[in-house]
Chains A and B, each alone.
Chain A
Amino acid sequence: MPRPMTLGEKILARAAGVKSVSPGDIVLATLDLCLGNDITAPLAIQAFYQSGGTKVFHRRKVVLVPDHFTPNKDIQSAEQAKILREFAREQKLVYYWDQGEVGVEHALLPEQGVVVPGDLMIGADSHTCTYGALGAFSTGVGSTDLGAAMLTGKAWFKVPPTIKLIFKGRLPADVTGKDLILTAIGRLGVEGANYRALEITGPVIDRLSMEGRLTMSNMAIEAGAKTGIIPPDDITRAYVEKRAQRKPRYYQSDPDAEYERVEVFDVTGMEPVVALPHLPSNVVPVSRARNVVIDQAVIGSCTNGRIEDLRQAAKLLKGKRVSPRVRTIIMPATPLIYRQALKEGLLDIFMAAGCIISPPTCGPCLGGHMGILAKGEKAVATTNRNFVGRMGHTGSEVYLASPAVAAASAIKGRLALPKEVRGSNWKVGVKK
């Protein structure tokens, strides 16, 4: 009898061609996909050529997404993006998207069905852990690992121990996947899951939308985790089956699989939360930070730039105006999400409320471009990190929250709860 395994261990064992794996084992495994972006891929491509590479191992399995500094923010970033474009053409890569088609990588790949359940994948981007939401084992690496993977189709992995998170109880209306994962990071700490995998489970997750799950897996890295896997179910199947470009493999953890520890979260009575500067683990209820006056609100990114996120924000912004002191930037994460938001009238709601609509880009999330903060400025953002200087000047501050909290805060000009702006008698100057 093989050892009982978690679903993550099963994927690693399958890809390594062995019956079973245990935490601590080092395995050389065959990859289903490898990913790079306009910051990390140029170094990987350089490593690829320097070690004598001429052809990638598989033109459908090397994925390049120029999303960080695009549309090109300056000459140097244009040169970086050009390296990707030329490499994609030369290697006839199937999965490369340019302006007009490109979106934020971790929103784009699931949407386009490029990554599917059961995949083993590495990406030269720390948020590659996002695809755990589909029941894939995916993790962030650096450019050299990507370069080696583009050549060989393989990567080495140390099998991580797994921490199981169980979310139970009654999910309050304004509490989202973002609030759940921030709460978990708050309890685990930014190093709490270092060298470990998270398995995110429980009755609350069973009812959570795919968007909410992608948000949760996306931020596993903020607790240091290698990946954040969610067991696939009917919600996964319904999302995947209309878009999968390959046959998915649905793995489940064995009932007697081994976990390093189990953390239980009772969400009943929970309030929306915010991560205060300068760590994603500085998590407090929004109600305790309502005095924080903000200069900017950013709604988007690989964490929260999906259609459900935009709907949540639009619901609160409909018929209202954002505070004149708050620059409110809406970033639909992919062209498809952008068009869907257009069709549903969400973009009109945003513009009538005084927001700016950005093209799909990582943009301000990492302090790249299109919404940089000056010294002393504060932003509420639906993004994933609030380190010193993350969105601009080292004297600026980022507060991480859900799209609903960001939208409410944009209206109030300070950190605010969604219920503070809902159904108020606030007079509006716009027709909608």
Chain B
Amino acid sequence: MIIKGKVHKFGDDVNTDEIIPARYLNTSDPKELAAHVMEDADPAFPALVRPGDIIVAGKNFGCGSSREHAPIAIKAAGVACVVAESFARIFYRNAFNIGLTIMECAVAAEAENGHLLRVDAATGKIANLDLGREYAAKPIPAFMQELIAAGGLMEYVRKGLMK
């Protein structure tokens, strides 16, 4: 899958309280969650984000709570991919489980707001079309690739692979 989208840039330690504040967690409806995505990091973001856009961030993206509402909100807002220098452990796991494409790549995080990125989800190749630079994301562990190939964790379970 090739993703080509406009960058929305965030910093280090973007936490789940910023991605989807707990005051909105009285629902798990993806649409309602998407309406408030990243609101406490950038109040303008829910109105600005367009389907196919890419979030680029620094270290430790998604730290804090285990709420799966965070990757769900990002995915439901139409964000095609999150590229970060690194991800917090639970967010990383949740993103795979719900089918949000994420890429760990320290150098690609030099992208600025509005840059156009091309991400090849299969090979982990990332290109910044504005800077004319190419990067390689950290490879996805083999086991995670099996999960993705099965269609996510619940499909993996349903197909009787979890044994």
Contacts and interface: CB of A to CB of B under 8 A. Distances in A.
Nearest to B15: A387
Interface residues of A, number: 52
A219 to B, nearest CB: 12
Interface stretch (A108-116, A240-248, A388-396): A388-396
Interface in A133-162: 140-145, 147-148, 151-152, 154, 156, 158
B70 to A, nearest CB: 9
A125 B25 CA distance: 13
Contacts, number: 136
Given A26-B141, A39-B25, A279-B13, A124 B158 contact: no
A154 B162 contact: yes
A46 B29 CA distance: 11
Contacts of A140: 66, 90
Contact of A144 (B26, B68, B88): B68
Contacts of B63: 190-191, 194, 224
Contact of B18 (A151, A366, A389): A389
Interface stretch (B1-9, B115-123, B148-156): B148-156
Contacts of B41: 388
B17 A388 contact: yes
B113 interface: no
Interface stretch (B44-52, B73-81, B93-101, B127-135): B93-101
Interface in B63-115: 63-69, 71-72, 86, 88-90, 93-94, 97-98
A367 interface: yes
A152 B162 contact: yes
Contacts of A388: 17-18, 40-41
A194 B89 contact: yes
A305 interface: no
B154 A148 contact: yes
B40 A151 contact: no
A77 to B, nearest CB: 4
A126 B17 contact: no
B94 A142 contact: yes
B66 A141 contact: yes
Give the most central of B21, B63, B153: most A CB within 10 Å: B63
Given A126-B64, A140-B66, A194-B89, A51 B23 contact: no
A43 B28 contact: yes
Contacts of A123: 66
B97 A142 contact: yes
A145 B97 contact: yes
A40 B68 contact: yes
A129 to B, nearest CB: 10
A68 B23 CA distance: 11
Contact of A156 (B88, B94, B143): B143
Interface in A39-59: 39-40, 42-43, 46-47, 50-52
Nearest to B22: A366
B109 to A, nearest CB: 14
Interface string B9-37: 00001010110011101111000000000
Given A143-B68, A389-B40, A368 B23 contact: yes
Contact of A191 (B86, B94, B152, B162): B86
B68 A142 contact: yes
A142 B25 CA distance: 14
B73 to A, nearest CB: 12
A416 B162 CA distance: 53
B153 A148 contact: yes
Given A73-B26, A76-B27, A224-B60, A144 B21 contact: no
A385 B157 contact: no
Given A142-B93, A148-B156, 8 more contacts: A40-B66, A125-B65, A142-B97, A144-B152, A367-B23, A385-B15, A388-B18, A388-B41
Interface of A: 26, 28, 39-40, 42-43, 46-47, 50-52, 68-69, 73-74, 76-77, 80, 123-126, 128, 140-145, 147-148, 151-152, 154, 156, 158, 190-191, 194-195, 224, 226, 279, 366-368, 385, 387-390, 394
17 contacts: A28-B162, A43-B28, A46-B28, A51-B158, A52-B158, A125-B66, A126-B90, A141-B94, A148-B156, A156-B143, A190-B63, A194-B63, A224-B88, A366-B17, A387-B17, A388-B40, A390-B17
Q: 5 closest A-B pairs (Cβ-Cβ)? A: A142-B94, A142-B68, A144-B97, A76-B26, A191-B60
